[in-house]
Amino acid sequence: MSKSTHEIEVEICNPEGLHMRPAMQFVDLANSFHSDISVSHQDIRADAKSIMQMTMLAATCGTRLKITAVGPDAGQAIQALRGLVENKFIDDSETAVGEKEGSV
């Protein structure tokens, strides 16, 4: 599989920001891909697969984050993470899947 780089900018728009549960979902989702994924906010860069680094980004509501993925499944990773953020981390899995399909 070829390595590719994908990058995207998203805005955190759920009121709690990257609070416990959202951060957890984000990290869990990132960990389901093979690609290296990083998230940066201003000049701070975090490993999307590390809950410590992600929570330390302190991404509150309205924060803009740049997500960069490098690896075989970089494209899918970016799409999935964007879906999660744009759907405000709605965790009811059935709704989340439905909306994700709609947005892609």
Partner 1 sequence: MEIKKGIAVSPGIAIAKPMLIDSKDYRIPRRSILPSNRAREIQRLRKAFATAISELEEIGSSQDIQRNNIQDIFAVHMRFLRDRSFRKRITDFISKELVTAEYAVSAILREIASHFAGIDDPYISERAADIYDIEKRLLVFLLGKRQEEVDHLREEVVILAGDLTPTQTAGFNKSFVKGFATEKGGRTSHTAIVARSLGIPAVVALGDMSSEVPPECVVIVDGYRGVVVIDPDEDTLSQYDQYSRQMTQFTSKLNELREFPADTRDGFHIQLMGNIEFPDEAQMVVEKGGEGIGLYRTEFLYLYGGQEPTEEDHYEAYAEAIRAVQGKPVVIRTMDLGADKLPHAGWHTNESNPVLGLRSIRYCLQSLPLFKTQLRAILRASVLGDVRVMFPLITNLQELRQARMILRDVMEDLDEYAVPYNSELPVGIMIETPSSALTAGLLANESAFFSIGTNDLIQYTLAVDRANEHVSTLFSGAEPAVLRLLRSVIQDAHKAGIGLSVCGEMASDPEFIMLLLGMGVRVLSLAPPLIPEVKKIIRSVTVEECNQLSRKVATMDSHRQIKNYLRDATTRILPETL
Measure CA 67 to chain center. Answer: 7
For the question of residue 41 being annotated catalytic, the response is no
Residue 5, both tokens: 């780089």
> Which H or E run contains 64?
strand 64-71
Closer residue to partner 1, CB minimum distance, 20 or 97? 20
CB atoms within 10 A of CB 79: 16
The interface with partner 1 within residues 49-88 (CB under 8 A) comprises: 50-53, 55-56, 58, 60
Closest CA to 69 of 23, 30, 16: 30
Closer residue to partner 1, CB minimum distance, 52 or 97? 52
Closer residue to partner 1, CB minimum distance, 55 or 68? 55
Which residues lie near partner 1 (CB under 8 A)?
A: 16-21, 23-24, 27-28, 47, 50-53, 55-56, 58, 60
